[in-house]
Structure formats: structure tokens, C-alpha cells
A and B are shown apart, each in its own frame.
Chain A
Amino acid sequence: MWLDPSNPQLNKNGELHHLLSIEGLPANVLWQILDTARSFVGVTQREVKKVPLLRGKAVFNLFFEPSTRTRTTFEIAAKRLSADVINLAINVSSQTKGESVLDTVANLSAMQADMFIVRHAASGAPYLIARHVAPEIHVINAGDGRHAHPTQGLLDMFTIRHYKENLSNLRVAIVGDILHSRVARSQIHALTTLGCPEIRVIGPRTLMPSQVESLGVHVYEDMRQGLKGVDVVMMLRLQSERMQGALLPSAQEFFKYYGLTEDKLALARPDAIVLHPGPMNRGVEIDSSVADGAHSVILPQVTFGIAIRMAVMSILAGN
């Protein structure tokens, strides 16, 4: 085994081989990605937004769960690195024919793939794939179940650093459906690894995973209490199928108690920034006036997302 079984993302030299989760990555690896992304932001602002780093490499987008948005940002990032990008929406092809994840991956490996970008509805699926691909192939987790969405977590860190410079003196609140959110888990691991001193999670008990404090966060059930004095507010998306049922009675009631409105945001620091991984449910987790307001950095997040994905791909392909 060329990978460390206790930390399957790193090679024997401690370099990033796959990006599966923020958890378990040392701070210097995260800083390297963030620093490299800063250089790629420059590239994305030029006339020719392409660099030749991944010329001749084949990047496969393996989306076992549909997501146009995330797939597109990976596709743009790969193309800006001059890679060849092949998009596969697996849920409509082989899975329905009963082909297993590993069979699909074995077939694609035989097509000389260099990198797999994996999105899957089941937590841990990218780990399974990473364990079974040939040693020269790199796997990037583009979101697995409730587990992790590491590039989203990294782009959020990039955004915070862009506006706040230093993460080691910030109070950060993550609000909403923590239980089902892979974004929240990646954000929490990234913040703790990069030395953020105070992370708060805010939501009703039905959307809070048990023993979430063990991740290094403080739990708030009252959003007004939780937003007091924070520098950064990270809103989460609430899936529509969870808006009414046994988890929550209605989207309206959720918005009233856990939606980000201007009056609730006023409790945060005056220079607080507001993030959202998108796509937003306006009027459910966030009010339009906040989403489009002066504190919102939601659109820059998208731009930075491409630079982060370029950084991750170029670091992986070089290790």
C-alpha cells in the first residue's frame, strides 16, 4: 500500500495524494492549497484564463448524484489548467444497469484517467474508490452524503482569509441544518485545523448531530444568542425535503427562528461577513436583503471556488 492506511489521503512523504476530507490534513497542507489558490485568482482575472499545468491529463467528473453547479466549477477549473474533462452522470447510465461503483471505477481507470472528481449520495464513497484505484490516480471528493465537501470548506476558508486576513482571532457561526450538512463538517474541520478559536453551530436540536461538541464547536439553539459578536456567519442550505415533516414543521417557522435577517445580523460584529455555499433558498435560510446586502460575500465565494479547485488539482497532479 502506497498510502498510509491511517490517513489514506497522504502519500508516504506526507503529501496530498487524494483530497477526501479536511479531517486528518495537517495545517501546512491546507495553507499550501490556500496560498496556491491566491495565485490562481490572478490567473482567472487575465485575458487568457488558462495555464498549461495539466495539459494532456484526463480529469473525470464522476457524479453519482446530480449537481450541475459543483460539476461546472470543477469543469471550469480543470479546463483552466488545460486538462481534458470528461463528465459522467453515473446515476443515469451504469448504476441503473446494476454496475457497482467499483466496476465503474475500474472501467474508467482503464481509459487512462488521471483524476476522479467524485460526488456520491453515500458518506464515504470516495474513500472506497480511493482504496481501489491505481496508485497514479488521484481522487477528489466533490461531496459525499453528509460526510464532507472539502473543496467547499477550503473555498470558504479562502473567502474568510480574503476578507479577514487572519483566522486565529475570529468568532465564526455556522447556522442551519448541521446534521445533514457535509459542508458544515468540512468547515468545522478546516476552521479547527487552521486555528480558529471559536466556532459556534446554531440550529434546532432535530438538525444537530449528537455529541457535535466533540468536533470542537459550541452549540447554540437561540440564533440571536449565537450571532452575538461573530465575525463570520456561514449559512447552510436546507434541503426542501427536510422543510416539513418530523425534522421541522415548516419553512416559515424555520425562517422565523433560524433564517438570517438584517435584524439578526445586526447582532454580529459591524464588519461581519456572510457566506452561503449555494444554491440559496431565499426566505428560508436567508433573507434576500442579506443575501444581496453589503455583508454578503456569496458571489466572491463562487469565484474563489474555481481558484481553490485549480489549486487542489494542480497540487495533487504534481504529487
Chain B
Amino acid sequence: MPGTPLPDAEELLAALTDQMRSHVGPDCGLIGIHTGGVWLAERLHHALGIKVPLGTLDVSFYRDDYRKIGLHRDVKPSQLPFDVEGRHLVLVDDVLYTGRTIRAALNELFDYGRPASIRLAALVDRGGRELPIAPQFVGAAITLAPGQSVELQRAGSGRLALVLHEA
């Protein structure tokens, strides 16, 4: 697949929404991981008609690479405007890779309380997992060449797009 164009983010989001529709009820807590995950979660929150307010997480304080790269310059506040205790939660991220971000998010979530369940939705899964973490909902699985990375971007119009970076 390297060399082939990346899939269209808007189409993946539509597919992801369809997958989740029958599984994610209006009382589920939807939580986007900064920054791309929050954009996706905002859209999903609206499309799925979820009544619980949207949550956001910045996992900077929980990352295990802090010792190597220090604190992220632009830490956003985490906001969970609902009680996580006993609630079914869905974490939303843009690109699923090693799984370390999700590990950090899980740690942070448990500092807020004990949820009934946590599921994971990702726009793309690029493989390369270093932890036993698997998504329940995924827009597409993609393969990247070594040194490549993929990033979700949002245009001024709100339109989402995937962008490929070469190392």
C-alpha cells in the first residue's frame, strides 16, 4: 500500500459512525483524545445523538515518553463533564499505532473513577502495536512504510483530511 493515496477521512468517519450507531447508546460517555480525537468525537457526538456532554482528554501528564521528550509545550486541560463511575465509555482517537497513548488515557480515566466499560474507536489503525490494545471500532486499517507517519488535519471549513509525513 505505500505509495497509494491515503483514504478520505470524511468517508472513514462516515463508516465509523455507521459501525458505532447500533452499539453506542445516548447514555454512553464519548471521550476524544487531544487533538485529532477531539475533532472526531465532536462529529461522532453529534451524529450519534449522544446526550451526555462530550469529554476530552490530554494525556500529556500520563505519557511514558515524558522522560525522553519532556512535557508537551501546549498541554490542554482534560475535561470530563460527567461522572465516569459506572458508565460505559468510548475513547476516540485519530490514529492508532503503538497503543501507548491509549494506555495513558486509560490510566488517566481511572483517576476519575471506575467506569462500567471502555471501548476504543479509531479513524485509522496503522498497526505496530507495542501493547495488548485493540479497537472495537475502526474506520480503516492502513500500512505505512518505515519512517512514514500519518496525521489528521482539520481545515477551516471543518473538513477532516489525513496527511502523510515522511521522516
Contact = CB atoms under 8 A, between A and B. Distances in A.
Direct contact of A and B (CB under 8 A): yes
Interface of A: 32, 35-36, 38-43, 46-48, 50-53, 314-315, 317-319
A47 B111 contact: yes
A264 B156 CA distance: 50
Given A53-B71, A315-B71, A318-B71, A47 B77 contact: no
20 contacts: A32-B73, A35-B74, A36-B71, A39-B61, A39-B75, A39-B77, A39-B78, A41-B77, A47-B111, A47-B112, A48-B111, A52-B61, A53-B61, A314-B71, A315-B70, A318-B66, A318-B69, A318-B70, A318-B71, A319-B70
B107 interface: yes
A32 B67 CA distance: 18
Contacts of B129: none
10 closest residue pairs by CB, A with B: A318-B70, A48-B111, A51-B61, A318-B71, A39-B77, A42-B77, A39-B75, A36-B75, A314-B71, A53-B61
A46 B71 contact: no
Given A39-B60, A52-B107, A317-B70, 16 more contacts: A35-B75, A39-B58, A42-B77, A43-B78, A46-B111, A46-B112, A47-B113, A52-B61, A53-B61, A53-B62, A53-B71, A314-B71, A315-B70, A315-B71, A318-B69, A319-B70
Interface of B: 58, 60-62, 66-67, 69-71, 73-79, 107-108, 110-113
A50 B62 CA distance: 10
A42 B34 CA distance: 15
B111 A51 contact: yes
Nearest to A37: B75
A270 B43 CA distance: 42
Contact of B78 (A36, A42, A52, A319): A42
Contacts of B71: 36, 53, 314-315, 318
A46 B57 CA distance: 13
Contacts of A314: 61, 71
A39 B76 contact: yes
What secondary structure prevails in chain B residues at the interface with A?
Answer: loop
B54 to A, nearest CB: 15
Contacts of B76: 39
A48 B110 CA distance: 8
Contact of B66 (A32, A36, A53): A53
Contacts of B66: 53, 318
B62 to A, nearest CB: 6
Nearest to A81: B61
A39 B108 CA distance: 13
A40 to B, nearest CB: 8
A48 B112 contact: yes
Given A39-B58, A39-B77, A50 B70 contact: no
B111 A50 contact: yes
Contacts of B74: 35
A172 B66 CA distance: 38
Contacts of B111: 46-48, 50-51
Contacts of A42: 77-79
A48 B79 CA distance: 14
A32 B110 CA distance: 27
Contacts of B73: 32
Contacts of A48: 110-112
Contacts of A53: 61-62, 66, 71
A32 B58 CA distance: 16
Contacts of B67: 318
A170 to B, nearest CB: 24
A52 B107 CA distance: 9
Select the residue from A39, A43, A314 with max chain B CB neighbours within 10 A: A39
Nearest to B85: A47
Point out which of B69, B74, B77, B78 has the most chain A C-beta atoms below 10 A from its C-beta.
B77
